[in-house]
Homo-oligomer: A and B are copies of this chain.
Amino acid sequence: MINITFPDGAVRQYEQGSTAMDIAKKISEGLARKTLAAQVNGEVWDLSRPIKNDATIQFLTWDDEKGKSTFWHSSAHLMAEAVEDVFPGVKFWVGPPVEKGFYYDMDLGENIITESDLEKLEKKMNELSKQNNSFTRKEISKADAIKYFTEKGDEYKLDLLSNLEDGNITFYTQGNFTDLCRGPHIPSTGLIKGIKLTGISGAYWKGDEKNKMLTRIYGVTFPNQKELDEYLIFLEEAKKRDHRKLGKELGIYTMDDDVGPGLVLWMPNGTIIIEELEKLAKETELEAGYKRVVTPHIAKENLYLTSGHLPYYQESMYPPMELEGVKYYLKAMNCPHHHKIFAAQQHSYKDLPLRLAEYGTCYRYEQSGELFGLMRVRCLHMNDAHIYCTKEQFASEFRAVNDMYIKYFKIFGIEKYVMRLSLHDPKKLGQKYVNEPELWIETEAMVRQVMKDANIPFVEVPDEAAFYGPKIDVQIWSAIGKEFTLATNQVDFAQGRRFGLEFKNQNNEMETPLIIHRAPLGTHERFIGFLLEHYAGKFPLWLSPVQVKILPISDKFLSYAENILSQLKNNDIRAEIDERSEKIGKKIRETELAKVPLMLIIGEKEMNESKVSVRRQGKGDEGTKTAEEFIEMVKEEVKNKTQIN
């Protein structure tokens, strides 16, 4: 008998050689049905693999990240089986699960695959799924494996084999398809029900453009058709909300070849959003006791040697400019400049916490291939601040920062978010992490405690901290459930010392402050990209580039419209008149398309009654109001940042 320990700590005994499936079935048939794989001693295993010794076990279902990725990995095998059926002679390279689905890279030889083939492949996959073939695992010697693929004439798998050690090689087979694969897999193909192949692209073998171009087929699968249908609707909606499409349509931003890739030019409409966000941040930070600074975008090499960005962060920095024999770098982060401002004056504990904020613009080198709309750029306007505090002040400061995040989530209607506490790895002290084992333990404990005390949902992730301390990564989900990485909130016990920052404590001794790096609104680039998708371009009133469009029914009412316009402008309301001699229906339609939140229809009746007819984007008529009433309503909505659309 072996002892099996469950996640809740319970220990039960099972026969030696029991599989996870055996154990699941003993617990309940329901569990067995929905279990896809099991984590045995921390490693994901096939459900059918015998457990020979005492172990911990955790069943993985569709709801677990690792359950999903096993499911998608098996789906890649299923797709490969279908491809082999449709394109005999195909040779496969690798087929991993990805964030949402899977792909497989393959050499189709002389065959050419087109989008129209995908449907055929899906059909085949559905057939194979119905066969409900088991995924079976077989350990094989390296020699036998080489023999198998040599006979098959598959140079790709032979290449993979050349890097594997004997005794550690497994084949997986389902139906007529056998693949060199480390696994694990789900029990059988019948579990894969909602199947969609989402695209084809070229991919160089091993990612090297000198190599042959392989064919990559992307797909996504679900345990049932309903989830697939929902996902396809999500995809459709996400496409409509693509920030690159909306960004162009709404005049938010542009890019230019002569300026350079990843360098955003913010157009007037985008700049209004930037300024509203900065206003919000400044007001929020002023209230929270921050002070503002402005620093240059470049500095001498020496600054980054002190900070440790050189050489550790050099790959992400622009190359230097050499002037008067000195190398200057574009800043990739604002912290070193802020530290210099801290250092410019003497400080006593009475001055702390000192919170220095700046919407600082940083430059980071991302490879051309990685650039993506506003999400991956090279110029970043960052909602940055650095808080210099004593150890005693740390908990309340860190908590206040988290509270600020949550305050913003409410304002922007972000309902789903997760904070990930990224910790160091003690094995990598002195390499990836500053070699201060005690300070790591201490600050990680402090952060953990703050999160617990504040009842903030968080997960812990080992080996993802910054080099100078633990951090909180914030993931948010848009209105349609698309995931975005927003920002980080970091503790830094190292840079203060590197920069020789100090304050006089209550005992008249010089002490190094702790530093919190934080950027709740992330960068303008990513955050506005997120907001475009989150709101589908229908910004709430306070953020809308144009808040009110005045639509006179005919030229006769232009002067009354102008009178209304000037009243709105005097009240800092962003308004415009559609002066064209177009039919009112057309004006309304176009204003709806431009996603202006409020329209004022001005005709005979409105002019005679000294009123305006109010229409709301996507909602329609809201009746007539006097200009004063309307202005009051707008001001109230703007003040409350009400999201009505």
Q: Are A321 and B321 in contact (CB-based, < 8 A)?
A: yes
Partner pick for A306 among B258, B291, B302, CB 8 A cutoff: B258
| Interface residue A140 (Cβ < 8 Å from any Cβ of B) | no
Once the chains are docked, how many angstroms separate the CA of A303 from the CA of B257?
Answer: 9
Report the copy number of this chain in the oligomer.
2
Once the chains are docked, how many angstroms separate the CA of A465 from the CA of B292?
Answer: 38
Q: Are B293 and A260 in contact (CB-based, < 8 A)?
A: no
Q: Which of A70-78, A115-123, A338-346, A434-442 contacts B (4 or more CB under 8 A)?
A: A338-346
| Interface residue A256 (Cβ < 8 Å from any Cβ of B) | yes
Q: Which of A12-20, A361-369, A393-401, A631-639 contacts B (4 or more CB under 8 A)?
A: A361-369
| Interface residue A318 (Cβ < 8 Å from any Cβ of B) | yes
Using A251-B345, A300-B259, A340-B259 as known contacts, say yes or no to A293 and B319 having CB atoms under 8 A apart: no
Once the chains are docked, how many angstroms separate the CA of A328 from the CA of B260?
Answer: 8
0/1 interface trace, chain A 369-402, chain B, CB 8 Å (1 if under): 0000000000101000000000000000000000
Partner pick for A341 among B258, B267, B296, B322, CB 8 A cutoff: B267
0/1 interface trace, chain A 490-503, chain B, CB 8 Å (1 if under): 00000000000000
Residues 261-319 (chain A) with a chain B CB within 8 angstroms: 263-268, 270-272, 274-275, 282, 291-300, 302-303, 306, 318-319
Q: Are B263 and A298 in contact (CB-based, < 8 A)?
A: yes
Chain B nearest CB: distance from A38 CB in Å?
46
Q: Are A259 and B293 in contact (CB-based, < 8 A)?
A: no
Using A258-B299, A298-B363, A379-B297 as known contacts, say yes or no to A321 and B318 having CB atoms under 8 A apart: yes
Chain B residue nearest in CB terms to A361: B297
Q: Are B265 and A330 in contact (CB-based, < 8 A)?
A: no
On chain B, the residues within 8 Å of A270 by CB distance are 294
| Interface residue A324 (Cβ < 8 Å from any Cβ of B) | yes
* Besides the known contacts A259-B337, A260-B300, A361-B361, 14 further A-B residue pairs in the complex with CB atoms under 8 A apart: A258-B306, A259-B300, A260-B299, A263-B296, A264-B296, A265-B337, A265-B340, A266-B295, A267-B341, A271-B291, A271-B293, A298-B330, A318-B321, A318-B323
Q: Are B265 and A344 in contact (CB-based, < 8 A)?
A: yes
On chain B, the residues within 8 Å of A340 by CB distance are 254, 256, 258-259, 265
0/1 interface trace, chain A 325-366, chain B, CB 8 Å (1 if under): 010101000000100110111000000000010000101010
| Interface residue A202 (Cβ < 8 Å from any Cβ of B) | no
| Interface residue A413 (Cβ < 8 Å from any Cβ of B) | no
On chain B, the residues within 8 Å of A326 by CB distance are 260
Q: Give me the interface of A with B, judged by CB distance under 8 Å.
A: 251, 254, 256-260, 263-268, 270-272, 274-275, 282, 291-300, 302-303, 306, 318-324, 326, 328, 330, 337, 340-341, 343-345, 356, 361, 363, 365, 368, 379, 381
Chain B nearest CB: distance from A222 CB in Å?
40
Q: Are B363 and A303 in contact (CB-based, < 8 A)?
A: no
Chain B nearest CB: distance from A249 CB in Å?
12
Chain B nearest CB: distance from A525 CB in Å?
11
Using A340-B258, A341-B254, A345-B251 as known contacts, say yes or no to A267 and B293 having CB atoms under 8 A apart: yes
Using A294-B381, A298-B260, A303-B259 as known contacts, say yes or no to A265 and B341 having CB atoms under 8 A apart: yes
Using A268-B356, A318-B321, A321-B318 as known contacts, say yes or no to A296 and B379 having CB atoms under 8 A apart: yes
Chain B nearest CB: distance from A107 CB in Å?
29
Using A267-B293, A291-B268, A302-B258 as known contacts, say yes or no to A322 and B319 having CB atoms under 8 A apart: yes
Q: Are A256 and B344 in contact (CB-based, < 8 A)?
A: yes
Once the chains are docked, how many angstroms separate the CA of A330 from the CA of B260?
Answer: 12
Q: Are A268 and B296 in contact (CB-based, < 8 A)?
A: no
Chain B nearest CB: distance from A542 CB in Å?
16
On chain B, the residues within 8 Å of A295 by CB distance are 259, 265-266
Chain B nearest CB: distance from A293 CB in Å?
5
Chain B nearest CB: distance from A553 CB in Å?
21
Question: Which among A296, A320, A361 has the highest number of chain B CB atoms within 10 Å?
Answer: A296
Once the chains are docked, how many angstroms separate the CA of A322 from the CA of B321?
Answer: 9
Chain B residue nearest in CB terms to A251: B345
Q: Are A266 and B294 in contact (CB-based, < 8 A)?
A: yes
Q: List 6 A-B contacts (CB under 8 A).
A: A258-B340, A265-B295, A268-B356, A271-B291, A297-B363, A319-B323
Partner pick for A318 among B271, B328, B379, CB 8 A cutoff: B328
Using A258-B306, A306-B258 as known contacts, say yes or no to A368 and B324 having CB atoms under 8 A apart: yes
Q: Are B292 and A271 in contact (CB-based, < 8 A)?
A: yes
Once the chains are docked, how many angstroms separate the CA of A260 from the CA of B573?
Answer: 43
List the 7 closest pairs (A to B, CB-CB), nearest first: A268-B291, A266-B294, A254-B344, A263-B296, A258-B303, A296-B379, A271-B292
On chain B, the residues within 8 Å of A264 by CB distance are 296
Chain B residue nearest in CB terms to A545: B291
Once the chains are docked, how many angstroms separate the CA of A447 from the CA of B381?
Answer: 39
On chain B, the residues within 8 Å of A337 by CB distance are 259, 265
Q: Are B263 and A299 in contact (CB-based, < 8 A)?
A: yes
Once the chains are docked, how many angstroms separate the CA of A306 from the CA of B343?
Answer: 42
Chain B residue nearest in CB terms to A256: B340
Question: Which among A291, A321, A326, A345 has the highest number of chain B CB atoms within 10 Å?
Answer: A321
Using A275-B292, A297-B379, A299-B259 as known contacts, say yes or no to A365 and B323 having CB atoms under 8 A apart: yes
Once the chains are docked, how many angstroms separate the CA of A323 from the CA of B320?
Answer: 10
On chain B, the residues within 8 Å of A271 by CB distance are 291-294
Chain B nearest CB: distance from A384 CB in Å?
14
Chain B nearest CB: distance from A543 CB in Å?
15
Once the chains are docked, how many angstroms separate the CA of A306 from the CA of B299?
Answer: 28
Q: Are B266 and A293 in contact (CB-based, < 8 A)?
A: yes
Once the chains are docked, how many angstroms separate the CA of A378 from the CA of B272?
Answer: 29
Chain B nearest CB: distance from A57 CB in Å?
50
Chain B residue nearest in CB terms to A368: B324
On chain B, the residues within 8 Å of A296 by CB distance are 259-260, 263-265, 361, 379
Q: Are A297 and B300 in contact (CB-based, < 8 A)?
A: no
Q: Are A274 and B294 in contact (CB-based, < 8 A)?
A: yes
